[in-house]
Amino acid sequence: MLKLSQFGPGALVAAAFIGPGTVVTASLAGANFGYALLWALLFSIVACVILQEMSARIGLVTQAGLGENIRNNLTSGWLRWLALILIFSAIAIGNSVYQGGNLSGASLGAGELLGPVPILDAWLSNAWALVIGIIALLILWSGNARVIEKALIGMVLLMSVAFIGTFLLTAPDWSAVFKGTFGFSLPTGATLTVVALIGTTVVPYNIFLHASSVSKKWQSPNDLSAARRDLFLSIPFGGLISMAIVATAASAFFGQQVTIESAGDLAGSLRPLFGDGATYLMAIGLFAAGISSATTAPLASAYALCGIMGWSVNLRSRAFRTVWLSILLIGIVISSVGIKPVTVIWFAQVANGILLPVIVGFLWWLCQSSMLGNYRNSALQNMLAAVIFLISVLLSGRSLGSAFGFW
């Protein structure tokens, strides 16, 4: 019988990739292309599981996160500094500005459910961002891995009830859902949306988050089966939630003249079609998605930056808390005051585009090294890793192309 205590790192990854950005991307995919692109999410989940399984193996066997492994295995000084600059640019700076989006998304859900924040709304353009930021701060400040795991598992379960519940309320076409999930179809103009859907699931900072979380939860390679069970159940469950969002938008908006530009548009547009119940469920899901991403993004950044710098990755250490607190506070200011740091976001997008294939390539290389002993990649795992690496190059090209205005 499965127990809640058996889950953790995999659930953190699921909580991390279902954020407000994922909600928007999935909603646009469903509204513009119906159920046709559900296969892309299924594919992305398989890719994510393969990638995160390698990450879990490294964390479990070495008892260290990916940041520490980069530091320990890149003996060349200039390579280590290059890795540090990339990680700092893409993950630390990137998550600082993206944090504003996480808090804004959660604020849309909270505002729909509870209305304005008394007193604070008169002073801030988005008062809920401050309230939600404080919630994320309290979760992380506990410095207790199990408390953080339980809070984020709770958010994932809340998202599942909200988004899958909304999906069921929209009376989906089940035959079209099945066809879209297991049949390949690429409608005209859908290529970039497919890449974007994959990009919502396969992201660099989740690799750091997973390796470090696994190394803290399990202390022996003999626990590999437990780590795999956690990720093989948690990540596909997170993927099911993302697929429910696509299918909800497909059921409600495909073929209709409805414009969706934000996650809030999705929640509001459901009311005239399916009543208040669907709107409130979507708002609850958006609130949970925002809090989960607002918590995991600073946590992953702290693991990555502290690991590669050689600082303590103890959840209660001063350095670790300083990193995640800085990222969280920047996000709170950006969202609550209404700042739009366009140039910084562009810079972070470029850095992330470069970082993803580099990190995937490094992960693949580590999984073939003698350091892992009997836990090195098999021939099949190497073949799958090669496919994931090619996907990361594709995602990198899309991110860089978007940043430089090629598409």
> Is pLDDT larger for residue 111 or for residue 70?
70
* Higher per-residue pLDDT: 395 or 175: 175
Query: Residue 294: which of 121, 144, 148 has the closest Cα?
Result: 148
More confident residue, 273 or 10: 10
Domain that holds residue 357: 4-403
pLDDT band at 314 (very low <50, low <70, confident <90, very high): very high
Report whether pLDDT(312) > 80.
yes
Q: State residue 320's pLDDT score.
A: 95
Q: Which of 299, 394, 336, 276 is nearest to 104 (CA)?
A: 336
Tell me which amino acid residue 261 is.
E
Q: For 39-63, how does the pLDDT look when each residue is reduced to its tens digit (9 = 90+)?
A: 999 999 999 999 999 999 999 999 9
Supply the CATH number for residue 262's domain: 1.20.1740.10
Q: Positive or negative CA dihedral for 16, 20, 22, 26? A: positive
Task: List, for residues 366-381, the tens digit of each pLDDT value.
Answer: 898 888 888 999 999 9
Average pLDDT over every residue of 332-340: 77
Q: With a cut of 60, say whether residue 1 has pLDDT above it.
A: no
Q: Which of 1-5, 12-16, 83-87 has the lowest mean pLDDT?
A: 1-5
- The candidate with the shortest Cα–Cα distance to 206, out of 313, 105, 90, is 90
- C-alpha closest to that of 297 among 75, 5, 47, 16: 16
How many domains, the chain?
1
Q: How many helical (H) and strand (E) elements, i.e. helices and strands, does the chain have? A: 18, 0
What distance in Å separates the CA atoms of residue 213 and residue 64, rounded to the nearest whole number?
9
Kindly report the backbone phi and psi dihedral angles of residue 149, in degrees, each rounded to the nearest multiple of 5, phi listed first: -60, -50
What pLDDT digit, counting tens, does each position of 90-107 carry?
Answer: 787 878 877 887 787 777
pTM of the model: 0.89
Angle of helix 342-366 relative to helix 77-87, nearest 10 degrees, comes to 130
Q: Report how far residue 328's alpha carbon sits from residue 330's, in angstroms, rounded to the nearest whole number.
A: 6
234 neighbors 11 (Cβ within 8 angstroms): yes
Least confident range from 19-33, 255-269, 274-288, 304-318: namely 255-269
Residue 254 pLDDT grade (very low, low, confident, very high; cuts 50, 70, 90) = confident
Average pLDDT, the chain: 84
pLDDT(392) > 90: no
Whether the per-residue pLDDT at 241 is higher than 70: the answer is yes
Per-residue b/e over 11-29, b at no fewer than 16 CB within 10 Å?
bbbbbbbbbbbbbbbbbbb
* 227 — pLDDT class (breaks 50, 70, 90): very high
Q: What number is the average pLDDT over the span 61-82?
A: 84
Residue (of 132, 148, 141) closest to 286 by Cα position: 132
Give the separation between CA 224 and CA 215, rounded to whole angstroms.
11
- Report the pLDDT value the prediction gives residue 62, as an integer from 0 to 100: 92
